[in-house]
Amino acid sequence: MSSILITIVAIPVLLWLIARFFLSGKSHAAFDAPAPQLTGKRTEPSTEHNGVVQFMQAAQANGPKLKRDEMLAAMRKQMNAMGENVPFEGEIKSVQIDGLDAEWVVAPGADPDQRLLYLHGGAFTMGSPLSHRAITTEYARRLGVAVLAIDYRLMPEHPRRAGIEDCQAAYRWILENGPDGPAAVKNLLVSGDSAGGNLTLMITAWARDEGLRAADAAIALSPATDSSFTSPTLKANLETDVMLGPLFGQAQAKTPRWIMAWSSFISNRISPASPLVSPLQGDLSGLPPTLLHASTAEMLEGDAVRYYNKAVSQGSPVELGMWPFMLHVWHAFVLQMPEAREAFDHIEEFARRCVPSLNKVSPALEGEPV
């Protein structure tokens, strides 16, 4: 009986020790400070922002009760619907990259040799080039670049590593291919939101380590930077994050961190201490000029702050724009919200500072009613 009791006690302790010292990686609590100054200067959210939040909350409250697989399918469909009626006067052209579906988003008059690789968000389980057309068309209009949005493989149908490999393949491909066919890139930008922000930060470090041509600029919107889930704002901002809070809040609030680390390892099949899934855990020196955006209301605020402070401490030219009140990846509502257009103004200023030859080929659209 005593040996059984010892085993019962020892197994959880062993699992905790593995999570604490191997899966969670190094502690980054030292990079919680200093807190950056706000870039967004509004003292309260806009009427348009509040309208988007109210719409989302109503949809969450009135949505049908579905099983897990049904819920994922419904969320994927809902995300894609966001991009179906985005106005755009340019060309959206399908392309395949060694079997990987992707699309070029090219505004009239764009320079095909100035390119932006876009990696969509969606918790690595949803999203597509279609779902994020509000963002990719805004980039195309404002910067005059040819935007390549890829449909990387998603979980749970595919392992996390498959999506990573798709992004790496697309990075290599865009260096030598444009919307008109094979041609060397002149200037390259990389961007992504949320999960795609994670992939953006992963790929710039990976390109450095592989000795590939570096991006001229990288832009990560509300990025997830640490898959070991140790940032304090994952809990502190639980109530103010109107998007991620209802989706992931209960897990964050009730599950011990060491169990979250094991959950990340099991679902990703990669240790959360690996820079492949936790860019924060890697070497952040020698990176290209990088801009992060985050909201002080979102659960991933701390992920962005920690990444910024660590990268700056290691000498990389990384900047952080912070907005108050905003929902996660508010940039996706650029057609509705003035704060999203303000954020894109900030992105455009950064991109032009990094790549002075960029041209705005058509004006950004004015906002539309929610």
**Which residue numbers are catalytic?**
194, 298, 328
Using DSSP's 3-state secondary structure scheme, residue 93 falls into strand
Q: Are 288 and 204 in contact (CB under 8 A)?
A: yes
Picking from 236, 140, 257, 231, the residue whose alpha carbon sits closest to that of residue 191 is 140
CA distance 282 to 271: 13
> Phi then psi for 337, rounded to 5 degrees?
-105, 130
Within 10 A of 160 (CB to CB), how many other CB atoms are there?
21
What value does the CA radius of gyration of the chain take, rounded to a whole number of Å? 20
Six token digits for residue 207: 């390109």
CA distance 221 to 191: 8
Using DSSP's 3-state secondary structure scheme, residue 265 falls into helix
CA distance 224 to 241: 14
Picking from 185, 188, 187, 190, the residue whose alpha carbon sits closest to that of residue 218 is 190
Beta 177-178 vs 145-150: how paired, if at all? unpaired
Give the bridge partners for 224, in sequence order. Answer: none
CA distance 178 to 255: 46
| CB within 8 Å of 225: residues ≥ 6 apart | 197, 198, 201, 278, 279, 280, 300, 303, 304, 306, 307
Q: What length does the chain have?
A: 370
Is the link from the previous residue into 256 a cis peptide, with omega within 30 of 0?
Answer: no
In the chain, the amino acid numbered 349 is E
Is the link from the previous residue into 156 a cis peptide, with omega within 30 of 0?
Answer: yes
